[in-house]
């Protein structure tokens, strides 16, 4: 696919042409992956963050947020609950913390989850930028995947979204380190950012290709009222519709271009439309990540406005997820890790 072809697809406005794009992407998903969905249980373990990204609700500069960190016992309890409920894949996500205490906390938890589930859990970490040594320790403890979004692959746009002490180069260097340490590497961007053009989005897709990314986790940008980027923005119906559509078009284009990678249908889609996750699956995504975080903590992890399921128990989240996936005509791969095929194909070469 050429850049101008990708640009044309991302700019489509005719509803029939957009529907045809989603159908094409869905066909490629069926060919490369099947009519099935992998699931990961998401645990948001802490909202403490040393970064101050201009778009994010839990940025360090947001004094309105009460900070929490879930205890080792509670994380373990949730992980075992997930294992009993036939999850074979977990994502541990949090704000960015760099300390020996945090590194060893994660290291021990990963080790313990692996041991207590007979290595039955594929563990993904999404804990921001860390040193090579930290990534290595977590890999040795048993984590096999890492999600680190580049957020915006254009260095100039990246610079506009972050304070001066946040570095684009440091972030790409982390992606290289993760690859060298043989993680399945996930990345992604926010879609529909202020100042972002269709050209930027094409560049994002090319970035995933150039970095040979195994898993894509990207979603629409949703303004948060207590952030520099989101303050004063109102989420009109029209805006929501636009963000949702652009997010779905990006999923479809990523599927057409990258074919066998794992692509998540992210919660931000669901925040814009109650059916957003199913729409993501029908536009070519093959992964969903139900939130298993204990309800007591959920409202503390509000990255953007209108995050869904804040007061819903994991049991309820799971039921809702199963129903929504079945309604989209897809089968959930319970008990399967759902590793990235792309990762294994690279290893076969
Ligand atoms: N601290 C880690 C992981 C948690 S943040 C990190 O930054 O890598 C997880 C993701 O939330 C970020 O990568 C970002 O893309 C997304 N996010 C933050 N604020 C958002 C917003 N306002 N709208 C949509 N996504 C947002
Ligand atoms: Fe922290 Fe991640 Fe939010 Fe940036 S996006 S402020 S690193 S939690």
Q: Is 49 in the pocket of ligand 2 (CB under 6 A)?
A: yes
Domain locations in the chain as residue ranges: 3-348
State the distance between the two ends of the chain, measured CA to CA, in whole angstroms: 23
Q: Is 95 in the pocket of ligand 2 (CB under 6 A)?
A: yes
State pLDDT tens for residues 230-257: 999 989 999 999 999 999 999 999 999 9
CA of 56 to the centre of ligand 2 (A): 6
Question: Cα 64 vs. chain centroid, distance in angstroms?
Answer: 25
| Strand ranges (E), the chain | 36-39, 41-46, 89-94, 122-126, 145-147, 184-187, 190-191, 215-216, 219-220, 262-263, 287-288, 331-332
Non-local CB neighbours of 15 within 8 Å, separated by 6+ positions:
none
Which CATH number, 3.30.420.130, 3.40.50.170, 3.30.360.10, 3.20.20.70, labels domain 3-348? 3.20.20.70
Ligand having the closest approach to the CA of 55: 1
The number of the ligand 2 atom at minimal distance from the alpha carbon of 129 is 7
Question: Could you give the residue ranges of the DSSP H alpha helices within 220-335?
Answer: 237-258, 267-272, 276-282, 295-298, 314-327
CA of 264 to the centre of ligand 1 (A): 14
The number of the ligand 2 atom at minimal distance from the alpha carbon of 59 is 6
Q: Check whether 19 has a pLDDT greater than 80.
A: yes
Q: Is 58 in the pocket of ligand 1 (CB under 6 A)?
A: no
CA of 26 to the centre of ligand 2 (A): 32
State pLDDT tens for residues 183-192: 999 999 999 9
Which pLDDT value is given to residue 327?
83
State pLDDT tens for residues 252-271: 999 999 999 999 999 999 99
Ligand having the closest approach to the CA of 224: 1
Please name the residue whose Cα sits nearest to atom 12 of ligand 1: 149
Which pLDDT value is given to residue 125?
98
């Amino acid at each position: 696919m050429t850049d101008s072809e990708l640009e044309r697809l991302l700019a489509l406005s005719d509803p029939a042409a957009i529907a045809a794009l989603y159908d094409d992407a869905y066909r490629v998903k069926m060919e490369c992956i099947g009519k099935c969905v992998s699931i990961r249980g998401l645990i948001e373990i802490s909202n403490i963050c040393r970064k101050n990204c201009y778009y994010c609700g839990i940025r360090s500069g947001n004094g309105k947020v009460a900070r929490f960190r879930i205890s080792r016992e509670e994380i373990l309890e949730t992980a075992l609950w997930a294992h009993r409920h036939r999850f074979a894949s977990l994502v541990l996500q949090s704000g960015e913390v760099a300390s020996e205490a945090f590194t060893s906390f994660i290291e021990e938890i990963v080790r313990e989850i692996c041991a207590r589930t007979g290595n039955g859990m594929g563990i993904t970490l999404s804990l921001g930028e860390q040193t090579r040594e930290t990534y290595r320790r977590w890999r040795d403890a048993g984590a096999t995947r890492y999600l680190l979004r580049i957020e915006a692959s254009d260095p100039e746009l990246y610079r506009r979204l972050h304070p001066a002490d946040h570095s684009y180069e440091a972030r790409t260097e982390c992606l290289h380190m993760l690859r060298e340490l043989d993680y399945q590497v996930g990345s992604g961007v926010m879609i529909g950012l202020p100042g972002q053009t269709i050209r930027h989005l094409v560049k994002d897709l090319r970035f995933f290709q150039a970095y040979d990314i195994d898993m894509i986790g990207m979603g629409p940008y949703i303004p948060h009222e207590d952030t520099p980027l989101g303050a004063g923005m109102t989420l009109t119906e029209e805006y929501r519709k636009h963000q949702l559509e652009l997010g779905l078009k990006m999923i479809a284009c990523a599927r057409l271009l990258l074919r066998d990678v794992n692509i998540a249908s992210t919660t931000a889609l669901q925040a814009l439309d109650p059916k957003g996750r199913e729409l993501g699956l029908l536009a070519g995504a093959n992964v969903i990540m139900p939130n298993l975080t204990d309800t007591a903590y959920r409202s503390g992890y509000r990255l953007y406005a209108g995050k869904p399921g804040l007061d819903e128990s994991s049991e309820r989240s799971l039921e809702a997820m199963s129903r929504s996936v079945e309604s989209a005509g897809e089968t959930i791969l319970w008990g399967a890790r759902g590793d990235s095929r792309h990762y294994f194909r690279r290893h076969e070469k």
